[in-house]
Amino acid sequence: MVLKGPFVAAGLVAALLLGFGIARATAPAATPAASDPTTIPSHSHGGATLGDLGGFSLSAGGFTLAPAAPPTFEAGVQRPFAFRILGVDGKAVTKFIPTHDKLLHFIVVKHDLSGFQHLHPEMAADGTWSIPLTLPSPGIWRLYTDFVTPDPATGQQVPLALSIDATVAGAYTPLALAPAARTAEADGFTVTYEGTVKANATQPLTFRVFFGGSPVTDLEKYLAAYGHLVVIRDGDLGYLHVHPEDQLVGGAVKFWLSAPSPGRYRMFFEFQKGGAVHRAEFTVDVQ
């Protein structure tokens, strides 16, 4: 199946097929409520940037993630991970549309939702992507490729998140997910968020960063945004990458999102300060 139609429709179709319908978009005040599936906000982010689409399968929209070799790793041993994105014709895709300064975002998380990594592989001219990858501990790890490519038939932009599981042999002791909390520590920063994630209703979510008890109001842009939010559903590792409003709101980073279902999610909020990227993680119980 090739996703067709406008971006919103493509997102909706994918959401229905994949059962993961978070509306990933900033929602200007005039944006209609997303509870009506025909009005899930588009991905314009106030016209500034494209975001990323939810998804969690090896193939979607006619495109397939094809690893160069079986994704088996030794714990803690770095090796290159190479893959191609195949189009409907079975050939490697070489045209990607940059989103947030990169042609492809590569997200890694273990099945127990620990060990998050956000990496950026390099693509060779033949469409082979490669990244040095270390999976530090035994277990099953999900590798997500998150990108936008033009539909070869229509030229329309197709946002996709294709994934594959990698294995690390050894004794796997899953970590229990931390209980839901609104505060998290990140490299000496304290991060809090306001707002409540709800199922099938777009809500604002505002993240504030503190250092030494004082608000940090001069966050720096990282990959063309003041923050990046990856949300992964516990149970099926459904994936969402959300971007915030273009400008800080009183020094805070404001997102809009809607969960596709009740349940437990893990949010990974990335921000930059002092030239370094930091990450705060939150468990969220969506009612």
Q: Give contact residues for Cu ion (rule: CB under 5 A).
A: 105
Rounded Cα distance, 85 and 226, in Å: 29
Burial label for 277, CB within 10 Å (0-12, 13-18, 19+), is middle
**17/131 with CB nearer Cu ion:** 131
**2/119 with CB nearer Cu ion:** 119
**40/162 with CB nearer Cu ion:** 162
Going by C-alpha positions, the residue among 236, 239, 248, 235 that lies closest to residue 268 is 239
Taking the complex as a whole, the smallest distance from the CB of residue 197 to Cu ion amounts, in Å, to 22
Taking the complex as a whole, the smallest distance from the CB of residue 102 to Cu ion amounts, in Å, to 5
For residue 126, what is the DSSP state? Answer: T
In 3-state terms, what secondary structure has residue 19? coil
**12/100 with CB nearer Cu ion:** 100
Taking the complex as a whole, the smallest distance from the CB of residue 230 to Cu ion amounts, in Å, to 9
**146/151 with CB nearer Cu ion:** 146
The 3-class secondary structure across 97-125, one letter per residue, is: CCECCECEEEEEEECCCCCCEEECCEECC
Rounded Cα distance, 152 and 252, in Å: 39
Taking the complex as a whole, the smallest distance from the CB of residue 99 to Cu ion amounts, in Å, to 8
Taking the complex as a whole, the smallest distance from the CB of residue 96 to Cu ion amounts, in Å, to 13
Beta strands in 46-172 (DSSP E): 59-60, 63-67, 72-73, 79-86, 104-110, 117-119, 122-123, 128-133, 139-150, 157-168
Rounded Cα distance, 68 and 90, in Å: 14
**40/43 with CB nearer Cu ion:** 43
Taking the complex as a whole, the smallest distance from the CB of residue 103 to Cu ion amounts, in Å, to 10
Q: Please report, in angstroms and rounded to a whole number, the separation of the first and last CA atoms in the chain.
A: 33
> Which residue is closest to Cu ion by CB?
105
